[in-house]
C-alpha cells in the first residue's frame, strides 16, 4: 500500500473537516461509480473515499452492528449510526478507503467524494437525519448490462451457496422476499435480486428523489459533459470548471481492459448475453416488477 495508507493505518493520521460538504455517490457494483467518483475527485481540495462502509476495513460501522446491505427505518433515530456518519463526513476514513490518493492530496483535502456501492437502502434514513448541502447522487445502470459486466469479474465467481438474508440483516427489504430468494441458483441471479431490492426505491416514485440527483449510467456514457455540467451547476460550481476535468480516462476498475465504444458500454450486453441466462434474469425482474 502507498504512503497515505501507511500514515493513516499505522500513525492514525486523520482529516478533520470543519464544514463538510461531501459529494456522495450511491451506486451499485459495475454501475460506473468508480469512474464518476474519480472524475469528481479531480475537483480542487477533494479526496476520493472508496467504499467507506466496507466492513472488512471500517471497524467503527462493524462494531455498531452494520451489515453489508444495511437498512435503517427512516423513522428510527439510531444515534450510534448518526454519530458514525457525522465522523465519516468530518473526515474519519479507513486507511483502505483513501489508499488511492497521494499523501499530498490527502493532506490538502478540504472535502470528500464518498463512493458507496452497498448503501442505497440507507438513503431514506440518511435524508431524514442530515441536511446535505450537496444533494447525493443516485447512480443507476440497466440491471442486465450490470449483471453481464459482473460475469467477467473474478469477484463474483465465488463458490455458490443459498441466499442467507441474515448476512445482510433481518430488515424488511430482504426478509419479505425470503421464499423467492431461496429459489435462486447462481451467484449472478442472487446479485440481480440484491440489485432489485436495493433499487426498489427508484421505481416507487418516492418523493425522496427531490433531494437527490438521479444519474443514469447510459446518459453519463452518451453525454458526460451534459450530465456532469448539470450536477456541477446544482453544486454551484462555475461553468468553466468542467473544462478542467478529464472525462474520458478509464476508471481504475477498468484499466488494463479493452477500451469499449459508447455503444458497446451501453448495449454490448444485448448481443453477448446468453439467451438462457437472460430468461432467468428477466424472471427475477418480473418478480420484483421492475421494468428499466
End-to-end CA distance of the chain: 40
Q: What is the pLDDT of residue 256?
A: 58
Cα-Cα-Cα-Cα torsion 52, 168, 117, 83, nearest 10 degrees, comes to -40
Q: How many CB atoms lie within 10 A of CB 59?
A: 10
pLDDT at 193 over 70: yes
Q: Looking at 115-119, 189-193, 224-228, 249-253, which range is the least confident one?
A: 249-253
| 23-26/111-116 β-pairing | parallel
Grid cell digits, residue 72? 435503517
Place of cell 440484491: 194
Crossing angle of helices 187-198 and 143-150, rounded to 10°? 140
The β-bridge partners of 214 are 138
Mean pLDDT, rounded, of the chain: 91
Domains and CATH numbers, the chain: 3-250+259-287 (3.40.50)
Cα–Cα distance measured from residue 120 to residue 44, given in angstroms and rounded to the nearest whole number: 27
Q: Work out the average pLDDT over 177-206.
A: 92
The residue ranking higher by pLDDT, 9 or 30, is 30
Residues 6+ apart with CB under 8 A from 5: 95, 96, 98, 99
Per residue in 138-167, pLDDT (tens digit) is: 999 999 999 999 999 999 999 998 887 666
Residue 127, Ramachandran bin (φ over 0: left; ψ between -120 and 50: alpha; else beta)? alpha
Per residue in 217-244, pLDDT (tens digit) is: 999 999 999 999 999 999 999 989 999 9
Which residues in 82-165 belong to E strands, given as ranges?
Answer: 111-116, 137-140
Burial of 230 (0-12, 13-18, 19+ CB in 10 A): middle
Burial of 257 (0-12, 13-18, 19+ CB in 10 A): exposed
SS3 of the chain: helix, strand, coil, percent, to 5: 50, 10, 45
Cα-Cα-Cα-Cα torsion 218, 219, 222, 223, nearest 10 degrees, comes to -160
Counting residues of the chain whose pLDDT is more than 90, the rounded percentage is 73
* pTM score, whole prediction: 0.94
Amino acid at each position: 500500500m502507498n504512503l497515505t495508507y501507511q500514515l493513516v493505518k499505522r500513525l492514525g493520521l486523520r482529516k478533520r473537516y470543519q464544514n463538510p460538504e461531501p459529494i456522495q455517490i450511491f451506486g451499485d457494483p459495475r454501475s460506473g461509480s468508480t469512474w464518476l467518483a474519480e472524475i469528481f475527485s479531480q475537483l480542487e481540495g477533494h479526496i476520493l473515499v472508496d467504499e467507506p462502509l466496507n466492513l472488512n476495513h471500517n471497524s467503527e460501522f462493524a462494531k455498531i452492528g452494520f451489515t453489508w446491505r444495511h437498512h435503517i427505518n427512516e423513522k428510527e433515530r439510531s444515534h450510534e449510526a448518526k454519530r458514525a456518519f457525522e465522523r465519516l463526513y468530518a473526515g474519519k476514513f479507513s486507511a483502505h478507503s483513501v489508499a488511492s490518493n497521494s499523501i499530498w492530496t490527502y493532506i490538502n483535502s478540504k472535502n470528500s467524494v464518498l463512493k458507496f456501492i452497498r448503501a442505497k437502502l440507507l438513503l431514506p434514513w440518511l435524508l431524514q437525519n442530515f441536511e446535505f448541502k450537496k444533494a447525493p447522487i443516485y447512480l443507476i445502470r440497466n440491471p442486465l448490462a450490470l449483471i453481464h459486466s459482473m460475469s467477467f469479474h473474478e469477484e463474483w465467481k465465488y463458490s455458490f451457496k443459498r441466499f442467507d438474508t441474515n448476512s445482510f440483516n433481518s430488515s424488511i427489504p430482504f426478509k419479505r422476499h425470503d421464499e423467492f430468494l431461496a429459489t435462486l441458483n447462481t451467484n449472478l441471479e442472487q446479485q440481480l435480486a440484491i440489485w432489485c431490492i436495493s433499487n426498489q426505491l427508484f421505481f416507487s416514485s418516492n418523493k425522496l428523489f427531490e433531494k437527490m440527483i438521479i444519474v443514469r449510467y447510459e446518459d453519463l456514457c452518451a453525454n458526460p459533459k451534459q450530465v456532469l455540467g448539470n450536477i456541477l451547476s446544482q453544486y454551484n460550481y462555475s461553468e468553466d470548471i468542467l473544462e478542467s476535468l478529464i472525462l474520458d480516462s478509464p476508471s481504475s476498475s477498468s484499466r488494463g481492459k479493452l477500451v469499449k465504444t459508447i455503444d458497446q458500454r451501453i448495449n454490448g450486453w444485448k448481443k453477448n448475453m446468453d439467451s438462457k441466462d437472460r430468461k432467468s434474469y428477466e424472471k427475477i425482474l418480473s418478480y420484483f416488477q421492475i421494468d428499466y
